[in-house]
Structure 1
Amino acid sequence: MLVGGPVVPQARTAPAPSPAPLPADFSWGVASSGFQSEGSSPDSNWTRYIRAGRTHEPIGTSVDFRHRYADDIRLAARLGTRVYRVGVEWARLEPRPGVVDPTAMRYYDAVVDEIRAQGMRPMITIDHWVYPGWVADRGGWADARTPGWWLRNARRVVDHFADRDPLWVTINEPTAYVMQELRMGGIAPARVPAMLDGLVAVHRAIYDHIHRRQPNAMVTSNAAYIPAAESVLDTGFLDRVRDKLDFVGIDYYYSVSPARSQTWRVATDEPWAAPVAADGLYYALRYFGRRHPGKPLYVVEAGMPTRDGAARPDHYRRADHLRDEVYWLQRARADGLDVIGYNYWSLTDNYEWGSYTTRFGLYTVDIGSDRSLTRRPTDAVAAYRSLIRGNGVPGGYRPTRPAEVCSLVDAPTSCTQPVR
């Protein structure tokens, strides 16, 4: 139920609706990226940022998904997931201009085929912020030729995998991609508009190519939802490709409200100290539902960071946060939002763009101290398995944390029209 008008403090003991289970065909999944989890990284913009000392630590082996993909995919299958998101790394496929590494293509064949063999549908990300070193040599996204090189590789990937019927993510978090390139020195501030224009152009072009090769394809580009700022950020990319989206991909992590003063930590090296509020997912979904009427919504990434797997300062446990998010997702569907899927980020801990300290994994991996890279289940593994088996939280479930009195996730409507 939505309430209009000014915010009225709500009694915490007031009964809340018990949401219905999600539909039988709901897409439960896990998400990962190539560069962050594979290890054995080839020359790329990001290996160069690391060598230049712009990160806290080197990537090394990461969790060695490159050689342990079959075991990880089986872990996901045992959860009951139906979708496994992976990246196909341009830098690995095309180490030199116009030269395709057949070993790399066979590796990605094996990954995608194993996902399908375990009864899951692959979700393939074409660009997860990483491009080959030879593109970096030419200026990266500052070079007007980069969109053409990008499309040559992307068409190759689509032509090769379209018969496996994957879901497609063309570009991971385009606005965040631009901000990362700016932060790491990949582009100068004056080139930001050109990079956005290039990302819009390649998304539109590859969307059409995917549908020529896979007519019933489902294609998106996932947006990193930034509370209180998304409507402005969307003008740079998402609004310009709205006619080339089969569903709206959403990444949701952090909240903001007058009562939570640590939101700024998202932009620091301590994201585990930034506030998270599961009800914010409801407002993010409502925002995209209103902005893109008629489009299905898919939570392509969602999760909660910890520091080296330790308890968070707010004492929110991963399992509780996961159940609370799914509760609010069910409430969003009950209120008429066409939410079709949810991917947890991530199956295992990985390289969080410069450091292994921040951890999101359902399975934790002590990359710096455990040479065996053992996958150890967190409390969220059993929780996710139960959620998938029941298609959501059970009847009568109540979130472990109350909804924000005045959430600013989608200001001002998330504050003036709160969900009870």
Structure 2
Amino acid sequence: MAEFDATRRTVIAGLAASAVIDALPAHSAPRRAMPKGFLWGAAISAHQSEGSDVHSDSWLLENLPETVYKDPSGDACDSYHLYERDFAIARAIGLNCYRFGIEWARIEPEPGHFSQAELDHYVRVLASCRAHGLLPIVTYNHFTVPLWFAERGGWELPDSADLFARFCERATRALGDQIGMASPFNEANIHRLAAMLRTAATPEHIAKRRTMLAAAARATNAPAFSSILFSEANSIDVHLLDAQMKGYQAIKAGPGNFPVGVTLTTQAIEGVGENSLAAEMERALYGDWWDAVNASDFVGVQVYTRFRFDAKGMLPIPAGATITAAGYEYYPQALGQVIRLAAKKTSKPIFVTESGIATDDDARRVAWLDASVAEIESCQRDGIDVKSYIYWSLLDNFEWTQGYSQHFGLVAVDRRSFVRTAKPSARHFARLIAERRWPAR
């Protein structure tokens, strides 16, 4: 009966998705097919889309009186229950992969206690993803951690890597035979980007975050509450590198035979004028993480903009430049720059695992998609074997401290009914994919 119900739900979700995505016009043979095996996808994370992640560090921070979050995540997009709708929409767009996370805080809500019910839930999620013709690309940790892990000091403690590896081993034992690709972390060097951006932050901005973390420590009676988005990079980098290595080994040892890589935040860094700090800032952004890439199976580049540096520091966005709703420069050319950087730094396969734009003007999203695909094709013409384009994100979802104010999605989500409505950019993405698909034989 369970198998019949799952099949019925898949069919119903597929019919609903067909109604969401308008029928596409017929296409002749593509003007330029992507290499065979190229992955077209969209990405999402567990905390940002599932909702009710009550055992996580972020849930506590979002709901403190002293919070810096504009909104609490709440029910998010209710993807915990509605994942089949999301998969059906992704497939209707023409995607052949879907990148999403499993939530550590759900699976291990207390130290050493692993919820079989939650593991079974993710088994169903992975099976549904495959049933919809989508390769599941799984992130084991997308910023959030269990509350108990944050209370004890998070990634600042030397044994944090061993605790993470324990989670990776247990999750892989349950899920590994369904996973298509994986990474232990999302943007494994995010703390380094945060530190770089913090150099341009106001004292008030920094003080508010410290006040929130102090309130979290008081609320949990923790000596040093630690959350990755607000931690000092120097205090956690060595432990995260250790966790990447041990997590990789734990995942590779489990069932399944799939590539496990490193995803990095790879914003383009440009120098302006003599003695610019660009080279120094690039080293600060990546540290030893290219070595971690070379010890894994692939690199995922994740890019949204560029940062410019002169001899004194970070420069403001150029006058007259378009600014996205996330507050940074609209600069899709950054994608080509970081792909070329990755090709210089590693011989590992290169995947674009995130790239997107926050905007309420969907025409800008259409232009972003066009420009991003053009950058990939330019890199391919130069001999770089780029293996995917995965857009962030499928849905308008919870965007961390910015709450629900920023809209990256190809699909809008009603916050009350959770009804999904495809934007014109979703249909445009479908056309881009169809034009580059190998003709049927």
User: Does the pair score TM above 0.5?
Assistant: yes
Q: Report which stretch shifted further, 347-356 or 237-246.
A: 237-246
1:300 to 350, 353, 357: 353
* Matching residue within 370, 375, 378 for 2:420: 375
Residues 10-36 of structure 1 show CA distances to partners (whole Å, capped at 9, x for unaligned) of xxxxxxxx9943113101111000000
Question: After alignment, is 154-163 or 204-213 more displaced?
Answer: 204-213
Give the 3-state SS of the residue equivalent to 1:219 in structure 2: coil
How many residue pairs are counted as aligned between the two chains?
A: 362
Match of 1:109 in 2: 123
Deviation at 1:212, TM superposition (A): 3.0
1:170 lines up with 2:184 in the alignment: yes
**296 and 77 in structure 1: CA distance in 2 versus 1, 3 angstrom threshold:** same
1:146 is aligned, of 153, 160, 167, to 160
Quickly say closer, same or farther: Cα 1:234–1:58, change in 2 above 3 A.
closer
Gap change, CA 1:212 and 1:101, over 3 Å in 2? closer
> TM-score of the superposition, structure 1-length normalised?
0.79
Does 1:346 find its partner at 2:393? yes
Distance (Å, rounded) in 2 between the aligned partners of 1:117 and 1:255: 38
Q: Secondary structure at the residue paired with 1:151? A: helix
Q: Could you list the per-position Cα deviations for residues 38-97 of structure 1 after superposition, in whole angstroms to 9, with x for gaps in the alignment? A: 001122111121122121111111111011111111101111211111111110001111
Q: Greater shift after overlay, 237-246 or 38-47?
A: 237-246
Residue 330 of structure 1 aligns with an amino acid whose one-letter code is E
Distance of aligned partners of 1:287 and 1:178 in 2 relative to their CA distance in 1, 3 Å threshold: closer
The reply on whether 1:24 has 2:36 as its aligned counterpart is yes
Cα shift at 1:261: 4.6
1:215 CA displacement: 7.3
Which residue in 2 is equivalent to 1:408?
none
Cα deviation for residue 217 of structure 1 reads: 2.2
TM-score by length of 2: 0.76
2:149 corresponding residue in structure 1: 135
Residues 227-246 of structure 1 mapped to structure 2, 5 A cutoff:
227-228=268-269, 231-246=282-297
For structure 2, list consecutive stretches of 5 or more residues without a partner in the other structure. Answer: 1-29, 199-205, 214-225, 270-277, 310-314
Deviations 1:241-289 (A, max 9, x none): 133221111001113569x95379xxx9x74342222222111111111
Deviation at 1:190, TM superposition (A): 8.9
**Is structure 2 residue 436 aligned with structure 1 residue 391?**
yes
1:362-390 C-alpha deviation (Å, 9 max, x unpaired):
001242xxx11221111111111112212
CA shift in 2, pair 1:363/1:68, >3 Å: same
Task: Name which of 158, 175, 178 aligns with 1:161.
Answer: 175
Contact 1:262 1:273 in 2 (8 A): no
Which of 74, 77, 102 pairs up with 1:63? 77
Task: Report Cα offsets for 1:287-336 as digits up to 9, x if no partner.
Answer: 111111x2211000011111xx3x38xxx621121012101111111111
Deviation at 1:177, TM superposition (A): 4.1
Q: Which amino acid aligns with 1:202?
A: A
Out of 343, 357, 365, the position equivalent to 2:405 is 357
Conserved in 2, the CA contact under 8 Å of 1:32 and 1:85?
yes
Is the partner of 1:359 in helix, strand or coil?
A: coil
The one of 337, 356, 360 equivalent to 1:283 is 337
Alignment match, 2:49 = 37
Aligned to 1:407: none
Larger mean CA deviation between 50-59 and 91-100 belongs to: 50-59
Unaligned runs of 5+ in 1: 1-17, 393-420
Contact 1:30 1:83 in 2 (8 A): yes
Residue 344 of structure 1 and its aligned partner are, at CA, apart by 0.7
How far is the alpha carbon of 1:180 from its aligned partner? 5.7
Match of 1:262 among 313, 317, 342: 317
Give the equivalent residue in structure 2 for 1:201.
242
State the alpha-carbon separation in 2 of the partners of residues 120 and 51 from structure 1.
35
Separation in 2 of the partners of 1:263 and 1:202? 38
Deviates more, 1:341-350 or 1:164-173: 164-173
CA contact (8 A) 1:19 1:330 kept: no
Give how far 1:216 is off: 4.4
Aligned partner of residue 174 in structure 1, secondary structure: coil
The answer as to 2:58 corresponding to 1:49 is no
Which residues in structure 2 correspond to 1:306-325 (within 5 Å)? 306=359, 309=360, 311=361, 317-325=364-372
* Cα drift, residue 178 of structure 1: 5.8
* Alpha-carbon separation, structure 1, partners of 2:417 and 2:242: 43
The alpha carbon displacement at 1:37 in A equals: 0.4
Shift of 1:233: 3.3
Distance across 2 between alignment mates of 1:217 and 1:69: 23
CA RMSD of aligned residues (A): 2.9
Q: Tell me, what secondary structure is at the counterpart of 2:73?
A: coil
